[in-house]
Chains A and B, each alone.
Chain A
Amino acid sequence: MAQAILDSKNELAGRVAEGPVDAVRKGLGDWLFLAPAIIFFVGYQVWPIVRVLWLSFTNFEFLSDKPAQWVGFANYAQALQDPLMWASLGRAALFTIMFLPGTIILPLLLAILVDRVGNQRLATLYRVILLIPAVIPSTLIFVLWKWMYNYQSGPINHLLVNVFGLFTLQNAPQWLGGTALTLPAIAIMEIWWGLGYHTIFFIAGLAAIPKELPDAARIDGAGEWQVFWHVTRPQLAPIMMILVVLRFGSAMAVIDEYLIFGGFNRASPTYTWTMFMYDQAFKTGLWRQGYAAAIGMIGAIAMMFVMAGLIWVFRPKG
């Protein structure tokens, strides 16, 4: 991704160097190839955000028959004074903290293990098994784990209560449904889901490392850990950055899982800023979509700041 940013700068520089008349004449015909993508991109990504941004400065209520009025930053002021705004942002951050390390470190570990498997058939088999969850649609992953975690009929508690006898029916863990365990439970599910997919990314990254590098280090007497830390890890840094930043983004903006697992219980750890936005926009009062838009923008902007920080931390060094 860093590469892509650099490339885009180079291209921009290239454009300036050309003559303007030439470029315009050439440009019109050449945009034909870009047009389909741009139309969809603008229509369903750029415009909705612009529109939501505009709504966030109005008191638009969907069910109201009165026209919306411009209210300036009133929605933002109100949201920032609402303890629920801060609590809901904090919950999203909490989930991200639970989810992010596991979703990076476990696949990295697994990738290093699978990468060393010499038997070609076995390596392929491992890859296929690990990737099974990646081709199960997200919604069905949630349905699956809804069963897994079910207090009374789920296999996890069945194991804990009936097989291992660690708990009784009275005190078995309550995973989903708004308890303190709900976020870790969802994080485990997400890690399970992404395990194979991320592992494959790392395996591809490992395969791209020239074999001479670690070998040379070993000849110099480096241990396996030192090889990993000084040779492999820097080589994988670009992939790490992509995964960390993208997974941070998806973790902070989770909504489907919370809709399915936590409902609109405001005390539930799953009631994050995304749920707060959705609740206000489609469930509460006359559907305060102006206010909801402000909540959404606050959440998004907070995320962007952290992401910029992450990109800076993981920037390619040297």
Chain B
Amino acid sequence: MSGRSEQEQLFREVARRELAAGRIDRRDFLTRSLLTGLGAAGVGAVARSGIESAFAADSRPLTPTFYQWIQDLHPAIPEVNKRFPGINYQIAPVEGFGIERFVAEAKNKQSTWDVYVGQTPFIEMTAFIKAGVIEPWDNYIPKEVIDDIIPSIRAECSVDGKLYSWPFLLDVIGSAWHSGITSKAGVPDAAPATWDEFLVSSKKIVDSKAAPWGATFDAHGWRSLVPVTHSMSTKVYTDGLFDFTSDPAIEALKLMKQIMAYSNPDILLEGSSDAGVNSTTDEIAFQAQRVGLYFKYFNSPLRMAASWDDPKLLHLGPLPKFTNGEGSTVFWTTGCALFKYGQNKEKAAEYIKALTYDQQIWKDSIVGTPGVHPGQLPPYKSIYADWDAKKPDWMPPFVGLVRSQLDRAKAIDNNLFGLQQFVIGKPIWETYLKGQEPDPKVAMTKVKEAVQAEIKKG
């Protein structure tokens, strides 16, 4: 056991650094220091830390909490924080989980945090509103800011005319392609304008053996069924729920089946992280440089291409359309929610404004930094207008093309089942994609019934 005291020193040092970085509080630090020495004293420390209230006194510094991935993707955030001395910056819920803590606190009319950066409206905003966790920004957000939000995004973030999510990071579904593969196959090095072109190019890639597969997509509804549907029409919502049996949705499903003729055969499998939603098979195929065309939110192909032999071969563009399509793609924003029982609400608005207009964040997001390349876009009209007026030398062409789609694009309607309807429906509409059910309309009718049945259970 000669190395033991050395190890203890090391653990203490780690704990000390964490304390300094604000990752753990003093109590945790104390507990750990005690328990590093272990012994029965540790038991008492654990017990004490539990009984103490977790909530700070009445006045406190501005306390925002961020998703881990947001900090990972946007390294300039700490720079913004420096302009807000005393800010108690926290990393809290990990993606896909963690909102129960907010709800549990709200029931006690408390909130550890003032503002939550990481809310995606169609996924969780309705639940937050119903549970009384958040309040609208309207009393705190400056008028010029709320008017600056791109209208379709403002609609996404509003319920009954009130802004419940201050949009921050915009993810849009668009095209991506491996230009090494497309040029080898003799396919134009540009985003296909229509789905017909998309199919022709996919076939060429397979036929020319430039890659094993022509095209791929993420089988989760909000990443494939919805954007394809929207590219025909965005008028596909009733009472906040997606109209699975509408013509555009049926056409979208039929197109997906056509694409699957040229795609990786495992395309319908669940992914292998975050309960099947991430690390999906399309990503793995694209990362392995085995497929030419792709459509997904831009962050995904950018992340995948980082593992290519030459990441520069990745090119991006807007989503294709149906020949007479009047709609446009789908997008979602990751925004900021204002806790009803939080504090420092004016200060929070000031902070979020500084954060969402920060030029460095947007440049890093679009160009990428040595570590990451998020490809997320800003939500404000004025930022794009400024870029139009004086194009920065780092600006890639896809940003302008995507911006022009946004006026006609639409987010998924807010509903308690906004995300769930696609989780419930996926296995059912896939009976058509797998060929078990010949009629897409029958499959989609069953989806609709299953969603209704689930909602009635509540």
Tell me the A residues contacting B by CB distance below 8 Å. 61-65, 78, 146, 150-153, 169-172, 174, 176-179, 259-268, 282-288, 291
Contacts and interface: CB of A to CB of B under 8 A. Distances in A.
Contact of A260 (B100, B272, B420): B272
Most chain B CB inside 10 Å of its own CB: which residue of A153, A169, A263: A263
Contacts of B428: 267
B281 A152 contact: yes
Contacts of B272: 146, 150, 176-177, 260-261
Given A78-B457, A286-B130, A286-B458, 10 more contacts: A64-B131, A151-B266, A179-B269, A260-B273, A260-B275, A262-B270, A265-B427, A266-B427, A267-B428, A285-B454
Interface of B: 97, 100, 103, 107, 127, 130-132, 212, 264-266, 269-273, 275-277, 281, 284-285, 288, 290, 416-417, 420, 423-424, 426-428, 430, 454-455, 457-458
Contacts of B424: 266
Contacts of A177: 266, 269-272, 276, 281
A152 B427 contact: no
A65 B131 CA distance: 6
A65 B130 contact: yes
Given A146-B272, A177-B281, A265 B265 contact: no
Chain A interface SS verdict (over half): loop
A103 B275 CA distance: 26
Contact of B269 (A169, A170, A174, A287): A174
Contacts of A259: 275
Contacts of A150: 272, 284
Nearest to A63: B131
A211 to B, nearest CB: 39
Given A177-B266, A178-B269, A179-B269, A263 B276 contact: yes
B303 to A, nearest CB: 15
Given A264-B423, A284-B454, A65 B132 contact: yes
A288 B270 contact: no
B271 to A, nearest CB: 7
Contact of B127 (A63, A151, A171): A63
Contact of A62 (B97, B103, B212): B103
B266 A152 contact: yes
B20 to A, nearest CB: 29
B424 to A, nearest CB: 7
A78 B281 CA distance: 36
A287 B171 CA distance: 27
Contact of B416 (A152, A179, A261, A286): A286
B307 to A, nearest CB: 10
